Amino acid sequence: MTGTRFAELAWQGRTVRIEHQWLRVDDAAAPLMVFLHEGLGSVAMWKDFPQRLCDALGVRGLVFSRPGYGRSTPRAADERWAPDFMHRQAHELLPALFDALRIDTAGSPPWLFGHSDGGSIALLHAARHRTAGAIVLAPHLFVEDLSITSIEGARQAWLTTDLPQRLGRYHDDADSAFWGWNRIWLDPAFRGWNIEHEVAQITAPVLAIQGIDDEYGTLEQVRSIRRLLPATQLLALPDCGHSPHRDQPAAVIAAARGFLQDHHRPHDTRGPR
């Protein structure tokens, strides 16, 4: 793993700094896996999972914190995200980051690995941009009552427990990360958010993984992907909550390895090992 680096790019009318790390950077011919974190995630919150996955699959990795998270530029105090915030991350921010890092997505499309909100962003990006494939963990395609109940519980925990201090280990500005995510998900305008139409446009292969005990979404989320994209590979994990890569890392890595072996394209310079 390389040390933390920063890229500057234009985003929503200002220059933002994006924290990122490269994994297996010396393996230049290997395919690239891009990691997209959850709604309260960051580079640090992934811990060692991206390195473990990249080592097991023989791929390079790019891990980054979206604006408002980790050590990237915080959300402005008066900035409130709109219901299309994940669309903008997928269609504007991610391509801008690829350009800033000089990643040739046309010549060598990246693989995407997204968790929760990051899984939704991965799907939205794959619907419009060329990708080798997407692995999504606990993605959201629409808003469920279960999600709202758990996010309301997170708000109460933020106000009454040491959650701000614990989250502060992973973000320079924990308020930026928490309230950006929490306020938009609990905004009544967000209840009608739905990306099923966009997901139906994906042509790249998809592996969708979800814990049976996920407290933020039901299995209907990943089952809806299969209905829209019948070739989707599904994996429902027992004894697993909203973070399969933390609760069942070995199962996630094994499924990802099989997925890449099944779908690695011959024109890629080098395949997973």
Dump pLDDT digits (tens) for 8-28: 999 888 899 999 999 999 888
Token duo for residue 33:
């896996």
Q: Spelled out in words, what is the top-level CATH class assigned to the domain 5-263?
A: alpha beta
- d(CA 258, CA 262) in angstroms, rounded, equals 6
Dump pLDDT digits (tens) for 113-156: 999 999 999 999 999 999 999 999 999 999 999 999 999 999 99
Look at residue 270 and tell me whether its pLDDT is greater than 70.
no
Average pLDDT, rounded, for the chain? 94
Q: What is the pLDDT of residue 54?
A: 97
Look at residue 242 and tell me whether its pLDDT is greater than 60.
yes
User: Average of pLDDT values for 248-261?
Assistant: 97
Question: Whole-prediction pTM value?
Answer: 0.95
Q: At what angle do helices 174-185 and 145-160 cross, to 10 degrees?
A: 150
Q: What is the pLDDT of residue 1?
A: 61
DSSP H helical ranges for 69-173: 85-88, 94-100, 117-128, 145-160, 163-167
Token duo for residue 202:
């994906």
The overall longest dimension of the chain from CA atoms, in Å, is: 54
Output the CA–CA distances (angstroms, integers) from residue 11 to 15, 67, 100, 126, 202, in the order listed.
6, 9, 12, 20, 25
- d(CA 24, CA 70) in angstroms, rounded, equals 21
Q: Residue with structure tokens 């997928």?
A: 90
User: Average of pLDDT values for 67-96?
Assistant: 95
User: How would you class 64 by CB atoms within 10 Å of its CB: exposed for 0-12, middle for 13-18, buried for 19 or more?
Assistant: buried
Confidence band, pLDDT 50/70/90 cuts, at residue 265 = low
Token duo for residue 212:
């049976």
Dump pLDDT digits (tens) for 211-232: 999 999 999 999 999 999 999 9
- d(CA 194, CA 143) in angstroms, rounded, equals 7
Look at residue 29 and tell me whether its pLDDT is greater than 90.
no
User: Average of pLDDT values for 223-244?
Assistant: 98
Domain ranges in the chain are 5-263
Q: What is the pLDDT of residue 267?
A: 42
Q: What is the pLDDT of residue 22?
A: 97
Nearest residue to 23 (alpha-carbon basis) of 13, 31, 15 = 31
